[in-house]
């Protein structure tokens, strides 16, 4: 069974540009989560999808961040326009149910210059 995959693994962009991160969860996992770790800080929750619906988006920093999960399969996280403080590692995780183990992807390292 393939694990959670994320693309790209690294992205370097300039302030003001747009970047789109993609996450492919494990097949059959209805729950998809986005987390972020900025340098020196703990991993923080961004949002949670159940199938294509946003269950909890309380961790989204501001309206420059837009997450979608059309069709309840893969998800994208768009940052537009990117700011310096958006730099960090963005993790995606998926689980079959709410009480099941969350499987994490390898992360996307975003650097905003």
Partner 1 sequence: TQLLEQSPQFLSIQEGENLTVYCNSSSVFSSLQWYRQEPGEGPVLLVTVVTGGEVKKLKRLTFQFGDARKDSSLHITAAQPGDTGLYLCAGSHAGGTSYGKLTFGQGTILTVHP
User: Which chain residues interact with partner 1 by CB under 8 A?
Assistant: 4, 31, 33, 35, 41-45, 48, 55-56, 58-59, 91, 93, 95, 98-99, 101-107
Give me the least distance between CB of 15 and partner 1, in Å please. 26
Give the nearer residue to partner 1 in terms of CB position, either 34 or 82.
34
**CA 109 centroid distance within chain:** 11
Question: Cβ closer to partner 1: 82 or 91?
Answer: 91
Q: Which of 71, 60, 89 is nearest to 25 (CA)?
A: 71
Nearer CB in complex with partner 1: 53/80: 53
Nearer to partner 1 by Cβ, of 17 and 111: the residue is 111
Q: Please provide the DSSP assignment of 30-84 as one string.
A: -EEEEEEE-TTS--EEEEEEETTEEEE-TT--STTEEEE-GGGS-EEEEESS--G
């Amino acid at each position: 069974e393939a694990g959670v995959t994320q693309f790209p693994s690294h992205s370097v962009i300039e302030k003001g540009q747009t970047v789109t991160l993609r996450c492919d969860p494990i097949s059959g996992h209805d729950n998809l989560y986005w987390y972020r770790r900025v340098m020196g800080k703990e991993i923080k929750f961004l949002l949670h999808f159940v199938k294509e619906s946003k269950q909890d988006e309380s961790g989204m920093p501001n309206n420059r961040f837009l997450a979608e999960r059309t069709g309840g399969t893969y998800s994208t996280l768009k940052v537009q326009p990117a700011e310096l403080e958006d730099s960090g590692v963005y993790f995606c995780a998926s689980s079959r149910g709410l009480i099941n183990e969350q499987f994490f992807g390898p992360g996307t390292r975003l650097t905003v210059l």
